[in-house]
Structure 1
Amino acid sequence: MSSVGRIPICAFGDESFKESDVDGFYVLAAAVFDRAVHDDVRTVMSELRGRRRIPKLHWNEMDPAEQESAVKTLADLDGFHLVAVGSPVPRRRQERARACCLRRLVLELAAFDVEMLVLESRTATLDVRDVETVKGARFDLPRGTSFRVAHERGRDEPLLWAADIVAGAIRAKKDGRPGYRRLIEDLVYEVAVETNC
């Protein structure tokens, strides 16, 4: 619940997914840091790009050594991360899976007094779907709970890159490479979501 004069807690979210009729899954991760360290985390995330002239840090564009370095760097930051992992996710059902994971993530974040989730913007249409999903999820929150969602371009908000790293580490574990996930074990709260896809 929001209290007068308190700065709302904000989370930053990103996803990773695998569509498959056999073992598909959707990972929606939210990185939460104290607002006082947001600028410090942005600086650290920007430094992870190194000298590459890329618009944003992205898990899928890093080699394994860079991925490990990114997870270790994240592990040293003072934050926590909530992750909703939905399955199954057959082909062409990723948006349904995303909605299920987003709905659950909103409920989990609100339980930790988070009042705002910033997601990486995809397209105007898909962003509207996210907003509608969050509006629906708010009916399941306790009366008087404040929660909203916003979207930012990935290249404009390095805090989204922290969530991308978390989502990448969780996906790697699901793909049989658990080492990254172990590095952030104490910082992650993970929930399983049944997508009914």
Structure 2
Amino acid sequence: MNSESRAYVDESMRVGAGLYVLASVIVPSRRADMYRTALRALLLSKQPRLHWRDEKPKRRHEIVHALTEPPLEVIAVVGTDMPSSKQKRARRKCIDRLYWRLSQRGLYHVAMERRGPANDREDLDMVNALRAQNVLPDEMRVEWCDPLSEELLWLPDILAGVIASAIAGEADLMAALRAELVIDRLCCD
């Protein structure tokens, strides 16, 4: 078990492109405070958190360039061909694959960004169903956190945005990113 690291998870969707990205960034506990400090230093005045969709292109470049050292370790699942009416199905398929990938790496502590009580409950029900099917180990712990109180959730938000942009043809940010990337693709039609 890799108890020295945690996986922080967030999503990005491009509904018009039929794209759902679920990204996790693996953060070794010895580097957690360093990343938190670096992320807080990127905030503009009166900005409560970094949120990829709210950033302008120039600022996105600044953020990516500021996060190149040390290289990030990223595991992402990209759902393609997602009909707009099947977002929940795409999320379930991506979560299933991502949690499996994380468990294969011995990463048993996962922090997901909160999406509201009903959505978080759906995710928890899925985690419990995967455990019941013996797909996930009992040791895996998943928690839902508020990005206003856990800066490390900003990392997967950024990475999910970079990956979604690259798939949509805007590869310059992906090229600037220094990261160890594992990206699985699934068809979500």
TM-score (norm 1): 0.88
RMSD of equivalent CA atoms: 1.8
Q: Secondary structure at the match of 1:93?
A: helix
Matches within 5 A, 1:120-159: 120-138=113-131, 139-141=133-135, 146-159=139-152
Q: Kindly indicate whether residue 14 of structure 2 is the aligned counterpart of residue 18 of structure 1.
A: yes
Q: Secondary structure at the match of 1:156?
A: coil
Deviations 1:87-130 (A, max 9, x none): 22111321111111011000111111110111110110100111
CA distance in 2: counterparts of 1:113 and 1:84, whole angstroms: 18
* Residues 25, 156 of structure 2: 8 Å contact kept: yes
CA distance in 1: counterparts of 2:40 and 2:155, whole angstroms: 10
Deviations 1:73-98 (A, max 9, x none): 22213430111000221113211111
* Between 182-191 and 10-19, the greater mean CA deviation after superposition: 182-191
Q: Which amino acid aligns with 1:7?
A: S
After superposing on structure 2, the runs of 4+ consecutive aligned residues of structure 1 that deviate more than 6 Å are none
CA distance in 1: counterparts of 2:66 and 2:183, whole angstroms: 20
Q: Secondary structure at the match of 1:107?
A: helix
* Residues 71, 178 of structure 2: 8 Å contact kept: no
* Between 61-70 and 98-107, the greater mean CA deviation after superposition: 61-70
* Residues 81, 189 of structure 1: 8 Å contact kept: yes
Unaligned runs of 5+ in 2: none
* Residues 7, 107 of structure 2: 8 Å contact kept: yes
Q: Secondary structure at the match of 2:75?
A: strand
Matches within 5 A, 1:101-120: 101-120=94-113
- What percentage of residue pairs aligned between the two structures are identical? 26
CA distance in 2: counterparts of 1:56 and 1:186, whole angstroms: 22
Q: Secondary structure at the match of 2:21?
A: strand
* Residues 19, 81 of structure 2: 8 Å contact kept: yes
CA distance in 2: counterparts of 1:136 and 1:75, whole angstroms: 37
Tell me the matched-pair count: 188
Q: Kindly indicate whether residue 20 of structure 2 is the aligned counterpart of residue 31 of structure 1.
A: no
CA distance in 1: counterparts of 2:82 and 2:12, whole angstroms: 12
Q: Secondary structure at the match of 2:108?
A: strand
Matches within 5 A, 1:1-197: 2=1, 7=3, 9-20=5-16, 23-51=17-45, 53-138=46-131, 139-141=133-135, 146-184=139-177, 186-195=179-188, 197=189
Q: Which amino acid aligns with 2:77?
A: A
* Residues 33, 78 of structure 1: 8 Å contact kept: no
Q: Secondary structure at the match of 1:114?
A: coil
Unaligned runs of 5+ in 1: none
Cα 1:154–1:34 shift into 2, 3 Å? same
